[in-house]
Structure 1
């Protein structure tokens, strides 16, 4: 029996549709992965854009994006155990005769969100969600509970990676944050106010937003110029959205209508601490690079151009006496930097980086922040009206082009305290009229000593726990041994030269 022409056309259309769906499913299964990340097909250099033939909701219908992304978002509960002295936890409470009072412990519980980025248990969240924690509980979408360990964190982007021991988890698919457009519909997925698996909708309100929240330490003070020129240098190029984000959403997913991750929800701008219409997410391009570095290298591998960049506008362009009012003005070029070696000079204006127009310092820092030492970036420079490309080989913060090896001490209990010690000389002991002691030479802004106590540089440690210390080696050994013995913290006693004596309990977990 012969088929009619209309029936033939219908059958051909049906078969074509089925073959297309099978092909897309097979391709998605075998798409190339980076550190077990699931990424959508891409034409861009970093390997991330959205599939155009994936199902997607229309404005007002977000069911597909919600159903696709929600299983990848977890609830994180953290417990922070702090040892404190007497009433306020201040070292000054022990002055003038209170040294012998035993330290007390205080448990604080907080919650946030995280996103599963690999099937074998790696989860990305915010650094501020897990910072200082002594215990992490992860609750998945299907209500299973796990104990998680911290793999590493990067305060300069507020990104951290934790891990649970499980297989075949629903890892999220990374989208391309470079392709987000203002006005595009997005969903924020997280656990606000301990309400598990909550989805809110909104649009992209702005991109490349710098709100100056990462350039401060835990006490709210700006990082020093020296710190900002090193690894602590913040990278803020947030995606701004009006999707409702509240406390507990931190570390959760910002996804497009395909359900692809385009950002990690990080901050809100609010007069009262709750949602007021402005929320900010770290772009997925930065999230992917930072988390991949932490998993592969144990630390973030950041490439540095070696310039002091200033975003141009009509006002400062007149001050710098340049004819452009858009671009990145090169205000300084250190002698041992990558830019100097490539021929870039003070007064140059960067108009493009790898072909991308540079209109904001935030976007410039974001693009460079995705690269590692030894990688190259092509900067298009306008020098007195003449435009030329310069190829810059990025360097690490020590001036070399090699990847930076993680300090093996950084993962120890002592290393996490962020304490830089200096042994005292015999002359020092005589001057202070003491028999033993070790000086705190410096305190790293991201260490437990900075975030949990009131210690300052210059403090002389005379005992740790119930043991007197004569060297920095002894301090390290006592603290690491206390950690191995399961202790939550140690009591450090000493004095400030010219001041009173005191003690304070320091958490080591």
Structure 2
């Protein structure tokens, strides 16, 4: 759990009972005046099997800088060396697809992990595979192979209101599965410097170390958020916890499933949140929204007709409160997706349809799949159950290896490959020469890469 510091407190309750003389304790009534006692237990019976505990171990590099006075003895080897140290960690996760074994957690829970062990509520322990992650929003997707998995239903987090009841499920401090309850304290929290893309649900349901990646659910047991961080002067729970909204998580996970990583969309505007001063200066009737100060040339916003001075108030019909919320929501929507933006221009509401472009640096990192694929833009071809080389950079390793724009990758070493996730998974441990099965000009052929 990301936090300022950690404080573990325990309250010990002690009592003594006289075994020989104590009268039998009467059971609590199951109903009062014919009405069933209110309880969250029936909902939790359905929701808690979808929440898992995660144990990780691995190594991380520890940067060491040698003072100038010692450089004479160590030379260049002593400066900036990064020895590896082992680590272990605990967290939580949520099963979102029981058939496929997909589990969502926080990236910081499994980052740099060499081994990821999932413990289900029924006690089964399984090793998980990391399918992909997005460090900027702190989301990661894992997969396990098991039967009879319980998945959680995902709610529309845009329908949340401050005051709605919320229940946090996770494994704090390694104690095992724990449930706490509270309300939604605030929505659209940002500028916390926790992640690069922030649009948090704030809740007072107790969240502590180990709850990271766990579920925040509504009273129907539906997932409304992924618990990710707390804020407290001593690191313990003080009623200020943050969760990534389920809609944001769902958008990112869909991209990871399809592409192996996030292809982040970008609007191409800069600006600030509407406040009282801006509302007065621009003669606005609202004090919420995203004020556009500049539209980048050739951006998605420019091509759609947005202008400096416009105020964005809704995305796909859902109200936004600030520029940071606009950035967080747009940043979770994939490139090439269309969104409807409601803006205020000259005192009138207008709706623009914008096709998001792809953020620089968020292209499919083909080089992370295999170094000889560097320079190729990979896109899943659903019609052919293959991977298409959509673009290829001149003189790049991919072009030198013989790949061309329009090639379809259909397999590796005679193994059928249908999408980028499968390609990444198959190649992650492969060394030496690899035979790519490609289709070019309707002709199947092999391309050898080393």
Residues paired across the two proteins, number: 336
Equivalent-residue separation in structure 2 for 1:355 and 1:302 (angstroms):
21
**Rounded Cα–Cα distance in structure 2 between residues aligned with 1:103 and 1:368:** 36
Matching of residue 183 in structure 1 with residue 145 in structure 2: no
Question: Deviation per CA, 1:284-303, whole angstroms, max 9, x where unpaired?
Answer: 11111111211111111322
CA deviations on 1:424-467 (whole Å, 9 max, x unpaired) are: xxxxxxxxxxxxxxxxxxxxxxxxxxxxxxxxxxxxxxxxxxxx
Alignment of 1:112-123 (within 5 A): 112-119=91-98, 120-123=100-103
Distance 1:412 1:134, change over 3 A: farther
Tell me the residue number matched to 1:439: none
Give the Cα separation in 1 of the matches to 2:82 and 2:228.
34
Q: CA RMSD in A?
A: 3.0
- Residues 413 and 483 in structure 1, CA contact (< 8 A), matched pair in contact too: no
Alignment of 1:366-405 (within 5 A): 366-398=328-360
How far apart, in 2, do the equivalents of 1:281 and 1:292 lie?
Answer: 19
Closer, same or farther in 2 for the Cα pair 1:96/1:322, shift >3 Å? farther
Q: Take 1:155 and 1:103, find their aligned partners in 2: how far apart are those partners? A: 21
Is the CA contact (8 Å cut-off) linking 1:305 and 1:337 kept in structure 2?
yes
Cα offsets for 1:116-149 (capped at 9, x unmatched): 1112321100011111222211111111212222
Deviations along 1:24-83, one digit per CA (max 9) or x if unpaired, are xxxxxxxxxxxxxxxxxxxxxxxxxxxxxxxxxx99511122211111111111113135
**More strand by proportion, 1 or 2?**
2
Distance 1:243 1:376, change over 3 A: same
Aligned partners of 2:64 and 2:82 also within 8 Å? no
Question: 1:361: how far off?
Answer: 2.5
Per the alignment, residue 149 of structure 2 pairs with 169
Cα offset for 1:484?
7.1
Runs (4+) of structure 1 exceeding 6 A deviation are 99-103, 482-485
Deviation at 1:362, TM superposition (A): 3.8
Higher RCO by CA contacts (8 Å cutoff, separation 6 or greater): 1
Cα distance in structure 2, aligned partners of 1:143 and 1:152: 26
Determine whether 1:196 maps to 2:196.
no
The whole-number CA distance in structure 1 between the counterparts of 2:233 and 2:104 is 28
Q: Distance in 1 between matches of 2:371 and 2:292?
A: 41
Q: What residue number does 2:40 align with?
A: 62
* Structure 1 residue matching 2:131: 3-state secondary structure: strand
Secondary structure at 2:247 match in 1: helix
Inter-CA distance 181–382: structure 2 relative to 1 (3 Å threshold): closer
Query: Does residue 88 of structure 2 align to residue 109 of structure 1?
Result: yes
Tell me which residue corresponds to 1:134: 114
Contact 1:240 1:279 in 2 (8 A): yes
2:323 alignment counterpart: 361
Tell me if 1:90 matches 2:64: yes
List gaps (5 residues or longer) in structure 2: 1-35, 374-427, 432-450
SS of equivalent residue, structure 2 residue 358? coil
1:150 to 120, 130, 151: 130
Q: Which residue of 1 aligns with 2:288?
A: 326
Q: Which runs of 5+ in 1 are unaligned?
A: 1-57, 216-233, 416-481, 486-509
Following TM superposition, by how much is the alpha carbon of 1:321 offset from its aligned partner in structure 2, in angstroms? Answer: 4.5
Residues 58 and 113, structure 2, Cα contact 8 Å, conserved in 1:
yes
Kept in 1: contact 2:263–2:364 (CA 8 A): no
Name the structure where helix makes up a greater proportion of residues.
1
8 A contact 2:291–2:323 mirrored in 1: no
CA spacing shift, 1:135–1:291, aligned 2, 3 Å: same
